[in-house]
Structures are given as structure tokens and as C-alpha cells.
Chains A and B, each alone.
Chain A
Amino acid sequence: MVNSKTCIIDNGAYTAKVGLSTDEAPRVIPNCVMKAKSERRRAFIGDQLKDLKDASGLFYLLPFQKGYLVNWDIQKTVWDHIFSPDSSGINLNDANVIITEPPFNFSTIQEGMMEIFFEEYEVESYIRLSASKLAAIHYANERENQVSSCIVIDMGYSFIHIIPFIKGKYIKKAIKRIEVGGKVLTNYFKEVISYRHLNMMDESYVANQIKEDVCFVSENLHEDMKNAQKKGKDRIFTEYILPDFSNVKRGYIRKPEDVITDQQTVKFTNECFTIPEIIFHPSDVGIKQMGVAPTLLESLKSCEEYTHPVLLSNIIVIGGCAKFKGMKERLFKEIRCLIPNDLPLNITIPEDPISYAWQGGKEFSNFPNYFEMTVTKAEYEESGVQAANKFELFE
């Protein structure tokens, strides 16, 4: 059993990060089924998207809703594809599986997942834990000094979670959730472009790419807003060349030397930085919740006071939204304003915040007590979904 392979699945709401513990990096596969206007004979599952030439009007079928797995049919289709020779080629038969789930996952979903892995994929052993836990493991490992106390800010597709870990265990009562994620940002961006520039309501896929390319987090909103209105060279201003799916496959920011002939372009000014603002002020779009920095303070209140210095000096931001330029500086500025002067503050945003948790999973699979924590096939056959009760011991 110890010799068999281990597969780590960071099953996100937008992308699944999948790979064996022997792999260098995971495959990042869209966790959805997509239908295209241009190709009406088939749907595109996960990474089959690369075969699609014209991604205009892409229609998403997502297994997750508000961050929780609810569409099992779609999820099963995507998993079947991922674990087929066409995609990753990983055969889960007799493999050990590490899979991630969101905090406060519902027990029905947990049971369903476990059943599918044991009954359908016939895995050898199974363990589920939150992606933030894996990130905390990776963080501690990177530093090699066993600091397993940290705050993980997971900015994903569906929501942002703030999860403090003390000595490798999370403080359940301190977990906070902000219901803003990449999806909200993209949808809002789509609305704004459609009203101010040209109709893109059907183009979530393209809007998401534009968001990734042009948006940044402003360090000083008032200043940037003024600069966006200015005329002349100080003006914050981006011209973006939209994809037409014949010559331009993926849109890009126009550089001064680029000559455009007949490509469609959109000029963005304050959109570039007011969209990521939602992360810091969800109330900007009518979501009645605190932004990241005050929520982090709220979360700290539920932790013992003596842990604050160590927690604040080990903040780690993961997830797709952590990739916005300027995120680190802005977070630092906002949190610094809210905490006493004598407390340390250190924020880390890894180079690849998307696969960071997966890397932690890789290290987790090498833990000496890894196999004590998993549910084996034999245990599952003995007590069914009840076997998962042992996970609580190691949480």
C-alpha cells in the first residue's frame, strides 16, 4: 500500500489542480463543462477547451455553486475526463487520493464525494481536507522551521476565506468568509464593460481573461481615480485588443508600438482598479459584508491574544485573486492601519498562488503519519461513510 501512487486533487470551483505526488507541478484543469456557439456537435470538458478555436459566447456548466459541490453529474463528467487517458492519464484504481473541500463543507457533499471515490474509482485510500490546510503545510515546509502558525487568506473563485492556523490546527471559530470571489469580479466587470463599452454579457470567458490582464489593485484609490481622469501621459489608461478568434486567439494589452488594422479595441480607465476594489469593499456592489482587512481583524478577535504577533507575521494569500498586481502592498497598508504599531506584519503572496495548496498536498503525502490519517478501502468497506469520522481527530 505504501508503494502505491498518491494523487492530489485540489478540487476548486473554477479549476481543479490534479497531479501525482511524484509530479513537479499539477495540471490546472477547468473544472467545468463548456458549450460553444461555434461548435454545436459536442461539449468541451475540462482541458478539452484547448481544442476549441472560437471561444466566443462560451456557456459554462459548473459543478460548484457558491463554492459548494452541487451538480454531481457535471462533476462526475469532469472527473471521468480528468482521469481518462485523454487528459491526465492518472488511473485512480488503487491510488491514494488527497482531495480538498471548502471549509464548513456540508456532510451530504462529504459523503457523496467519498462514496464516488471508493465505489466508482475504487481508490485505495482517501482523505479530504481544506486547501488552506495544505497551504499552511506548504508554508511551514518552505520555511523549514516548523512555523505552522499562520493565517491563510484563500481568495478563490466563489469566496474569500480567512483561516488562522495555530500549530497546524485551524481555529474553527475564527474562520471567516467573504462572499466575493473571482466570479463576482468577472460578472461585475462584464456588466460594466457591457454598459460603458460594448456588449459582453455573453462573454464570461473573454471578460475573465481581460480581468486577469488589465486589472490591478490600487494602492491609493483617490489618487488613481484622479489620474484616470487626467489628460496626457499620466493618465491611467489601458487599451485592450479583443480576440476575434481568427487572427487573435487571446486578447492582449496594446503596446504603443502595436499597429492595429481592423481589430476591435476597448479603452479601460478606472475599470482597471475599481473592479478589484470589491475585494476590499464588497459594499461597493451591494454585498453587505466587510472587506478583507477588517474581516481579518474580526477573525483575529476569536484567537487568543498571545497568538496575534505570530499570526500577523505569517499571513499567506493564495487563490486566483491573489494574482492581482498590487495586492500585497494594498493588503499590507490596510491591515497595518488597523493593528497596533508594535505588532509585526508580514504578508506573503507566492509566485503561483493557484497551485500553492497542491504543493502542500505533495508534502502532506510524505508525512510519516499520512497513512494513519487516511480512510482505507478496508475501513470503508467495514463502516461505510462513517469511516470518515476519524478525519475529525486530525483536523
Chain B
Amino acid sequence: MTSRESHRIKDAEKKRVLDEAARRRRARKAVEALEQDNFHDDPHADLVMSKKVPKFQDSSEGPTRAKKAKKKNNEFIRAKYRKNLGQLLEEAKMLTEEPNYFSAQAPAPTEPERHFCAVCGNFSNYTCTSCGTRFCCLRCLKTHQDTRCLKWTA
């Protein structure tokens, strides 16, 4: 008489469900990923550029190198303008006069969102109970659970 409870209930308790905050975080990450320039790392990152190594290139190919000398005296110019987008936006926020960068943004949609199956791309009517991803049929749900669902938990 040790365990008389149903296995179904036991399994249901084990199942992890992402809370609202985690789902929002995932959604935000997905949007940010769409802005990425590259997914992979710099393929030349592990190269060590040594000044002593002779360069076997004809000089016309290396305009960057030819400009090295000139680069030095305009370093100060660029230091002045070197600002990342965050800093620029922060500065722009100071100017309250409309219209500005922020007021030009398209407003939130008035129509309800459309949903597409994350697996096959069809219209989707169902939501995965643990992570909130959309799917359209049992087959797609199975694929989703096998490959993606909570696989990279943020």
C-alpha cells in the first residue's frame, strides 16, 4: 500500500511550466535575436596578427593598412563621435520636443495577433502548456516536445 496514486497525476506534477515572466523574457530574446548581425562568432577571432609576420599581399588590396598612419591623427575625431546606439537614444530622450525618434515609432497593433505553428508554419490554434509555443496539430506538438520545448531553458 505504498503508492496508490495515479501515475498520470504524478507526471503532471513533474511537468515544468514556464511562468509569465519567463515567457516574456523568451519572447524578448527572440525579438532581439532578429536584430543580430551574425549568429556565429568571428571566424578570424583566433588569428593573432603579428606585426613581424611579412604580408604576402599586393599593396592595393590593403587599404586599411595604408590608412594606418592617417588613422592616428583622426583618432580624436572618432573618439568624440564614438557612441553606441544606447547612448544616442539616451541623449535623444533629453530632447522632449516632438516629433522625435520615439514618437515616430508605429503604434501597437489594434488587430488581434495571428498565430503560426512554430513547427510547420501553418495557422495554429493551440499553445504548448509548458512553454507557450504555438502548434497546430498533435504531430507538431510531438516534434516540438522532442526538439525544442524547455530544451534551452532561459
Contacts and interface: CB of A to CB of B under 8 A. Distances in A.
B105 interface: yes
A188 B34 contact: yes
Interface stretch (A17-25, A289-297, A316-324): A289-297
A288 B121 CA distance: 20
Interface residues of B, number: 60
Nearest to A191: B33
Contact of A172 (B30, B57, B81, B99): B99
A106 B88 contact: yes
A161 to B, nearest CB: 8
A85 B114 CA distance: 51
Contacts of A274: 116, 121
B78 interface: yes
Interface residues of A, number: 76
Interface string A46-65: 00000000000101111001
Interface string A183-205: 11001101110011000011010
Contacts of B33: 187, 191
A264 interface: no
Interface string A71-108: 01100110011001110000000000000000110101
Contacts of B106: 176-179, 282, 289-290, 295, 298
A285 interface: yes
B77 A70 contact: no
Given A59-B40, A201-B40, A204-B38, 8 more contacts: A57-B43, A59-B38, A115-B77, A177-B105, A229-B122, A270-B122, A287-B31, A289-B108
21 contacts: A35-B43, A43-B64, A45-B63, A70-B85, A70-B88, A77-B63, A77-B64, A84-B63, A86-B63, A109-B88, A177-B105, A179-B106, A183-B34, A195-B118, A201-B40, A283-B113, A283-B114, A289-B108, A290-B106, A295-B106, A298-B107
Interface of B: 27, 30-31, 33-40, 42-44, 47, 56-57, 60-64, 67, 70, 74, 77-78, 80-85, 88, 91-92, 98-101, 103-111, 113-114, 116, 118-123, 147-148
